[in-house]
Every structure is written in structure tokens, then in C-alpha cells.
Structure 1
């Protein structure tokens, strides 16, 4: 679906939004602006990496491509598939801004549009930078959600060892890896853009905003690294708890197997078809049962005293 949005402040540029692009819509924009095909289709590739490219078309128009990965949440998926990233293509020059994205980006970019569906920024470059800022901010918000989940797991991991915990840790780790890779790629692109834009009087506002976006990107990177360390620590704790619980279970089973072996040994000895003391006594059966019980009790108390059970 193609939308064309005009600015409200008498600026001469246009913003073309391409959401969930079809083949015909992609070809339409490629032919109209004489752009490389991948400038538009990059947003459709789930494995697309962030990058910065430039293109000079046959009419002498210069276009810059930014491919940036943004975070989103698949609400209907379990936690192992919930936290994902997807690319958005941003193609711009001084007169035109083209954004190609999938529907998962809608929540992020809707902030840029007011109720009348008209843009309130002075240039395509400023809109592009606001999109970058919102993406960096979105990473921070999603990271905060993951941090809350990790903190909750840290409080319960000592008392719980269900498979659900392992699945949650797997999902969190997968989300953190997705975010970390995307954040590092985005940072490289923004740093390249920061070098391209000159810090002169004409670009002072743009240069300053790129610097602000870069700071938020570095903040997201530092936070994601810290959370990965937390997640690794919780995984280690959970492994230790599981191993400790298994050791305790094995210790209890071993102790009880020793205790229950006592009557087996005694009955086996007095059950042999050879003369033994007390076999002619009518109370021998009862005495053997009572004796076995006493021995079992004594062994149990010894184990209990030494805190083996």
C-alpha cells in the first residue's frame, strides 16, 4: 500500500510510505525515481542487515539509502519466538523521502503523523533522523521489558526448575541476541552517517540530531550487553540448582536403598536351609521383624544425624 504525505509547513518535499509492498507497487516506485530494486525490497527480507548506500540516477538525482533494523513483538507467539527484528528501508534526498516497511513497524512510525495525517518536520532528513531516534528508543523500551522478566526469573529461579523456566530463558536469550546484532549493525550505519554529514552551519541541526541518536544507540548497546550477562548468570544459577536438586534426590534414594537393604539381608541369611541360632524358637519370625526394624531405625537416625537425609 502506497501513501503520499505532504508537509504542513509549506515545504516542497513529499513523503512516500510503502507498507507491505506488492510487486507492482515496488516496480512503480523503482521506475518513477529510477532506483535500484533492492532500495525498496530490502524491507521485505527478514535477514537483511543494516547498511548505508548512495545512488545517482539517470536524471542526476542523488538518493541515500538507510536500511535499519527495528524491534517488534509477536504477541501471539510463545516467548521463544516473541522478540524479533525487521528491516525498514529509508530512501531520501532533499525533495523526497521514501520509507518501505512491513506492518510491524506501524506502532513506531505512527508517532510522526498528527491527526490530520500531515508531517510536522521541516525536511526529509529530519524525518529520517526522527525515525532513527524512535527505533533506538523502541529498543530501550523492549529492553526494559526484558529486564523486568529477567529480574522476575532471578527471584524465582532458586525455587523453580520447571521446563517453563528453560523455555523462558531460551526465548529471552534469543531476543537479546536478535536485538544485540541489530543494535550493533544500526550503530555502525549511524556512525557512518555521522561521518558523512558535515558539522557546518547548514547541517548543524541534522548533525546534532545524529549525535543524539548515536548516544541512544550506544545506551541501548550497553544495556543489552548488561542484560546478556544477567541472563547468562541466571542460566548458570538454574543449572546449578538443577544439579543440586538432582544430587539431593540421588542422595535420598541411596540412603533409603541402604535402609531397605537391611531386612533383605537379614531375611536372606535366616531364610537359608541350614541350622541357625533361633530357628527353633516359635518367636523367631517376630524377633527377626523387630530386629530388622530396630536396625533400620538406627541406620536412619545415623543418616539423619549426619544430615544425609
Structure 2
């Protein structure tokens, strides 16, 4: 899908045909759409379609007619019927005429630009636009990291009494998301460091300040991802032991109940044997049945009290 936007000092609108200073947004473009854009702006088709490959790594490619910046952006993904976090590539190509973004899916990173909610955003100010996208990307990482922290706290509360694996699986998914984030943020950092030295993109003083802010935000996101990852890893180990311990407690209680219940069972079994009544205590007494019941009950109560005294229950 291809969408073209053009802004002036006062307006921001969608247009039909690209002009100088416009923004071409490609979302999972077809081969035909990619070929048209590549031919018109003399872009290598492989570079234009590189962000559609989920395995592509963040990098900067400098050619005679354009410069391509490839970074990883955070996304929501359905796994095990729940929303979790992952990363996908976003390509930003700057030419003499236009700026092109290409991605496999719609993304939160570009939503605010489309909806006109970004301050001092103009499509014809291509350098600033690039740095604004990268800054917004770092901000989205921070938002998703805080959401991961909140989710891990919710799962932690459930785990205290859990004997199932469901909560551990949720922690595993969160840990997997943090691995994606940490890896992507590190590669993005290398891109940002290279942008500082890159001369093919002209930088103005305000743009350099924005780039520095972006680097700071990206570093903060890396630190948060590392901290949350270490916390989750320790939490996984601790609560795996908690779940195992909870199961052992339940098995111990069931075993003690079985012992208590086996006492009257053994007595009743003895009286159920096919032997002469004269050899069985209380067999000839009219109250023999109730006496046996009482004896079984007393022994069971005594055993239960003993277990409680030993703090086994």
C-alpha cells in the first residue's frame, strides 16, 4: 500500500502524486509498487524491499542518489492468543526529492506523523523528519518497556499461589520480548552513532540536538531492557522453584490425609474378614459396631493432632 503526504508551513495533507519535499509511505508494498518507486527515484530494488525481510539488521547504506537508514521498531504480535512484543525493520530512504518509509506493517512510530500530532514536523525538512522518526521510535520502545514491566508485576502476583505453568509461560514470552528489544536497541545504537558522523545527510544545529536526544532515549531504553531482562530471568528461576514447592506441599497434604483415612480402613478391613466371631474383640457385644467406630475415630483424631503438632499439615 502506498500513501503520499505533503506539508507546507501551515498544512499537512494526503496527495495523489509525489512532489518535491513529499513523504511516500509504503506499507507491505507489492513488487509492482516497489518497482515504480525504485525506477522513478533510481533506488536499488533490493534496498527498497529490504525492510520487508524480518531478518534484516539495522544499518545505513549510502549510495550516489540516496541514503537508506534501516532500524528496528517495536510492534505488538499475537502469540498464544495474547498480545506480546517483537520488532520489525523500518526503512527510511532519503533522496534529493522525497523521503520514503517502507515497512511490513502499520506502526505506532509513524501514526502521530500521519495524524499531525508531531510538533515542528514538515515533510520537506527531510533531515529533521528522519531524526523525529528515530526519536519517536525510541519513545515507543520506552512505552512498551513500561508496559512489559506492568505485565510482569501482574504475573508475579498470580505466581505466588500458582501450581500451573501458564504464568511461567507468560514470563517466558515477556523475557522473549525483552531479548528482541535488547538486540534491536543495540543495533539501532550503532546506526545512531554512525548518523552522527555521516556527512551525506546535512545536519542543522536543531537537528543535531534532536539526534543527541534520540541517542539518550535509545540508551535509556537499552538500560531499561537490560534491567527488566535480569529481573525477569531471576523471577523465572525463583517462581519455578515456588511452583515446584507448592506442588510438593499439596502432595504432602494429600499423603497425610491418605494416612489418616487408612487407619479406619485397616480396622474395618480386619473386621470384614471371614473368621469366627469369638476371636474378634467386641464381636459379641450389642454395641460392638459403635465401639469399633469410636476407636477408629479416636485413633484418626490422635494421628491428625500428632501431624499438626509436628507441623506437617
TM-score normalised according to structure 1 size: 0.83
Distance 1:72 1:260, change over 3 A: same
Aligned mates of 2:80, 2:283 — CA distance in 1: 74
Contact 2:57 2:71 in 1 (8 A): yes
Contact 2:23 2:123 in 1 (8 A): no
- Is 1:143 paired with 2:145? yes
Structure 1 residue 29, shift from structure 2 partner = 1.6
Picking from 154, 179, 187, the partner of 1:185 is 187
Picking from 14, 33, 40, the partner of 2:41 is 33
Q: Which one is further off, 110-119 or 15-24?
A: 110-119
**Cα deviations by residue, 1:38-70 (Å, 9 ceiling, x for unpaired):** 2111222233221111222xxxx3x21111111
Distance 1:235 1:116, change over 3 A: closer
Aligned mates of 1:90, 1:217 — CA distance in 2: 18
Matches within 5 A, 1:262-281: 262-269=263-270, 271=273, 273=275, 276=279, 278=281, 281=284
TM-score normalised according to structure 2 size: 0.82
Matches within 5 A, 1:114-263: 120=122, 123-197=125-199, 203-263=204-264
Picking from 298, 306, 309, the partner of 1:302 is 306
Picking from 59, 71, 75, the partner of 2:74 is 71
Aligned mates of 2:151, 2:186 — CA distance in 1: 23
Aligned length: 300
Picking from 286, 289, 295, the partner of 2:293 is 289
Query: Structure 2: 5+ residue runs without aligned partners?
Result: 11-18
Contact 1:5 1:119 in 2 (8 A): no
Contact 1:42 1:48 in 2 (8 A): yes
